[in-house]
Chain A
Amino acid sequence: MAQDQANEPERVFNMYKKMLLIRAFEEAAGENFHAGNVRGSVHQYIGEEAIAVGICANLRKEDLLTSYHRGHGHSIAKGADPRAMMLELFGRVGGTSGGKGGSMHIADFSVGMLGANGVIADGCTISVGAAQAIKLLKQDKIVVNFIGDGGINRGPFMEALNWAKIYNLPVLFVCENNQIAATTTTKTVTAGEGIAARAESYGIPAITIDGNDLLLVDNTSARIIDEIRSGSGPQLIQAMTYRLRGHFAHDKALYRIPGEAEAALEFEPVRRTESWLITQGISEEELANARDEAEQTISQYVVDAHAAPWPDIADAFTDVQDVGAPQVGVNS
């Protein structure tokens, strides 16, 4: 843990509980994927929770956030309702998108979460545009764009960095560097010194931190977000982390060096936060209770998701467009 942090144990404990909620959600999502209850693709955020929670603890409800395919953690951290998210994963009525989006299109606009995204780095360009709207509307908000390390080799990321800088936009880019893009080790396909160097080449301040250190993420983002609110223009945080699971739930991650994932457990954020909380006088029992509470909460959402109705077929034809809208059952 960071040596210079001054976090209140109560604040950290609350962040810890948020991390537990994300982890329980992701474990349940994976289990229900394997059980056949959740279809398509589920990209779990297990092992990376401290980044979303530490960053979002410093955001306001009205601040905006864009994410990528691994977006459950960002959504929960920003304040989206995990029950509605679980219903969405099950494709049911009451889901965040009414069952029309699923895991990769989780969104909750009521808390400024503008969507996970199935296309790598597309959130970057959406973010800078949202920030331009904020300036035009003279609003006091910022935009946070989460991106993975695989995304930094796409053009839209580099275009968006340039764009954010030339218009001095209130955007925080957060690269969650879990060091592997799907199954390919990122550094084998990335020239130069990597993401922070790329941002700096555009004149964007960039910092690399241990993303599994919740207190460090919290403190660093508190300072940087404050600067962005004060008009610093865009900044970038590269948060180093490790994906404890495969790229998606059905990926057994056989490309890992044997023993690598086991070794990484020592540095994973939930345990590290627990160790710190114990030094602050939080008891093992309190931690166990918090874990139980998160797991029970999510278990209930799974029960709710099983019980929720399937969407009506007619729902497939709504919210396409107003002008030239489709009619149910008409293909032309």
Chain B
Amino acid sequence: MTEMTYAQAARLGLKEELERDPTVWALGEDLGFEGGMAGQYKDLQAEYGADRIVDTPISEATIMGAAIGAALAGTRPIAELRFSDFAMCAVDELVNQAAKARYMFGGQARVPMVARMPIGIRGGIAAQHSQSPEAWYAHVPGLVVVTPATPSDNRGLLKAAIRCDDPVVYMEHKGLWGSVGEVNENDVEPLTLGKARIVKEGSDLTIVTWAGMVSVVEKAAITLSEEGVSTEVIDLRTLWPWDREAVFSSVIKTGRMMVVHEAVQVGGFGGEISSEVTEHLFDNLKGPVKRMGGARIPIPFSIPLEESYMISQEQVIAKARSFF
């Protein structure tokens, strides 16, 4: 096992795929000299050349559109959009072209590309650099949506996304870039998309979460378990497909569920999970399914205002206690 950051683990996964498959390449702004916003492309251009780690103009629509064209023409591009907020300049390409090409051309086409667009609050980058729009893409047929929460997952899921024949929206959480975790460098296999990770087992309450909220919920669950509320934590890892089996079997065991995500609660993906569990497991539930998401406000700048948006460990604990 090696300790590395979330960003370093992503770089390792990418490097392994660049090494393994000569049709894998990446395009985006500031990948060469800067090495990506968090060093997730550091030195890869020097090693693999400017044709495979491509510095692009600030042209998000074409970063996405070119990746689609390159995927249709037989390569496996990674379109780096830097911020999911900036990727909104390329939603048309992603939603109208990448997600639909295979279908509307009757199966003639595949679009094996990764649209890499980090989400979440990193601290002080305010309304246009902090959003979490993962539910938007889970809503779009044709797309796979991945939200890694740990360094090890950010390597294994990125590798899986690169090898996937479907277009994958890959949403790293910016607040996690510097987080450290154990990575088994000898295990070079990709993870399976659509398989959740049981972060912590428990028998009284299931908390489903992903991305930046996983570590917050995990800490809350430890406190809750010490208090006698045995709390199971599920990191979904991928929102589409989401691991119904893992969630359902946990809820059948615990009879209580809440979903926690940083994204705005209204219309968030927590609503989908809550609704499915309520519809299919109503008789197993000992109380209503609960949701915790962000307020329906833009992400504010000032420290106390930004903190007021974020979900804290204490808030998770308080909400969990309200079940009992």
Residues of A within 8 A of B (CB): 64, 66, 95-101, 105, 107-110, 114-115, 117-119, 122, 124-137, 155-156, 159-160, 162-163, 166-167, 318-324, 326, 332
Contacts and interface: CB of A to CB of B under 8 A. Distances in A.
Given A105-B105, A126-B65, A160-B65, 4 more contacts: A125-B68, A137-B75, A159-B62, A321-B102
30 contacts: A66-B69, A96-B108, A109-B109, A115-B109, A118-B96, A119-B92, A122-B65, A122-B96, A125-B62, A125-B93, A126-B68, A128-B69, A129-B67, A130-B73, A131-B69, A132-B70, A132-B75, A133-B75, A136-B23, A136-B51, A159-B57, A160-B62, A162-B57, A163-B57, A163-B66, A322-B164, A322-B165, A323-B166, A324-B166, A324-B241
Interface string B272-294: 10001000000000000000000
Contact of A324 (B72, B74, B77, B144): B144
Given A133-B75, A322-B166, A323-B194, A105 B104 contact: yes
Contacts of B65: 122, 124-126, 128-129, 156, 160
B64 interface: yes
B126 interface: no
Given A136-B75, A156-B61, A162-B59, A101 B106 contact: yes
B161 to A, nearest CB: 10
B83 interface: no
Nearest to B64: A125
A128 B165 CA distance: 21
Given A125-B64, A156-B61, A324-B241, A319 B69 contact: no
A162 B66 CA distance: 12
B51 A128 contact: no
Contact of A332 (B25, B96, B105, B276): B276
A224 to B, nearest CB: 21
Q: Is the interface of B mostly helix, strand, loop or mixed?
A: mixed
A133 B71 CA distance: 8
Contacts of B166: 321-324
Given A128-B62, A129-B65, A319 B103 contact: yes
A39 to B, nearest CB: 15
A107 B103 CA distance: 11
Interface residues of B, number: 51
Contacts of A125: 61-62, 64-66, 68-69, 93
Contacts of A320: 102-103, 141-142
Contacts of B27: 132
A96 B106 CA distance: 7
B229 interface: no
A137 B102 contact: no
Interface of B: 23, 25, 27, 51-52, 54, 56-57, 59, 61-62, 64-75, 77, 92-93, 96-97, 101-109, 141-144, 164-166, 193-194, 238, 240-241, 272, 276
Contact of A122 (B71, B77, B93): B93
Contacts of B104: 97, 100-101, 105, 115
A324 B194 contact: yes
Contact of A321 (B62, B67, B93, B141): B141
A12 B11 CA distance: 56
Contacts of B96: 118-119, 122
Given A321-B144, A323-B193, A324-B144, A133 B70 contact: yes
A208 B56 CA distance: 30
Q: 6 tightest CB-CB pairs across the interface, nearest first?
A: A125-B65, A129-B69, A129-B66, A324-B241, A97-B106, A133-B73
B51 A135 contact: yes
A152 to B, nearest CB: 15
A146 B59 CA distance: 21
A145 to B, nearest CB: 10
Contacts of B164: 322-323
Given A119-B96, A129-B66, A134-B73, A321 B142 contact: yes
A99 B103 CA distance: 10
B105 A127 contact: no
